[in-house]
Amino acid sequence: MPDYAPGTPMWVDVSSPDLAKTRAFYDGLFGWESQVVPDPQAGGYTMFFLDGKMVAAAGGTMSPDQHPAWSTYICSQDADATAQAVRENGGQVVAGPMDVLGQGRMAVCSDPTGAFFGVWQPQMHRGAEIVNEPGSFSWSELYTRDPERANEFYRRVFNWGIENSDMPNGMKYTLFQVDGRNIAGGMDMTGMLDESIPPHWLVYFTVENADDAAARTQELGGKVLDGPHPTPMGPMAVIEDPVGAAFAVIQFTGES
């Protein structure tokens, strides 16, 4: 994967209160090889590799109250300037910007509707080295109860193009674009998900077979929350790993 254009989702990691359990689950599901970063300052941060290339990572939760979750990091040429833009447009900067062991400069933010995301200014670490292949990150999707407000926020902060389209079920789907290229999606979660579920970014991983991935999930101690069911891009399922972090898998076919 070449360098990511500013505004492009470039990295994903999962927070976990039990990194050993998390490593075992994802290594078993996707065939990843997990390697703990040796620097004590990294706090057990674990890199996941596929065919020798970085695909994702896992880090410990910061407090007992932090819910395990997958995070999407968006590429920035200047994390401090992006953080300021977040504040100016109604979002919050939860942590940072901060330097990360010479690997990059990052901030953790939330949009005005409450969805968390990361900002990453690359230095040594330049993002996922494999994407869109089986076992790798392929898509991030925003679920929010105020899509108009969220879309305007991301347009202003990251200069994203916005394209809305009608879905077969009567709902609308938003495509976020960088230089005319689709880089992420978004949906109105009102009435679709329980009110207790907050706005969030859902991370997708490509798999060769969604049914097999769902079955393997259960063998490894995870849960299938939804699906597999057909989508215009192929069968997909929403999964919860053994420590409670949710993500999606999709088998790309290009068929309904």
pLDDT tens digits, 86-111:
999 999 999 989 999 899 999 999 99
Please tell me the pTM assigned to this model: 0.94
The dihedral sign for the CA sequence 64, 65, 71, 77: negative
Mean pLDDT value across residues 140-144: 97
What angle, rounded to 10 degrees, do the helices at 210-219 and 19-30 form?
A: 150
Residue 1 has pLDDT above 50, yes or no: no
Q: What type of residue sits at position 248?
A: A
Q: CB–CB of 215/28 below 8 Å?
A: no
Q: What does the DSSP assignment read for 106-163?
A: EEEEE-TTS-EEEEEEESS--S-S--SSTTSEEEEEEEES-HHHHHHHHHHHH--EEE
Same fold, 9-122 and 137-250: yes
Residue 256 has pLDDT above 50, yes or no: no
CA angle 128, 79, 71 (to 5 degrees): 45
CATH says 137-250 is which class? alpha beta
CATH says 9-122 is which class? alpha beta
What are the sequence ranges of the domains in the chain? 9-122, 137-250
CA nearest to 119, candidates 151, 152, 141, 97: 97
CA angle 6, 50, 72 (to 5 degrees): 35
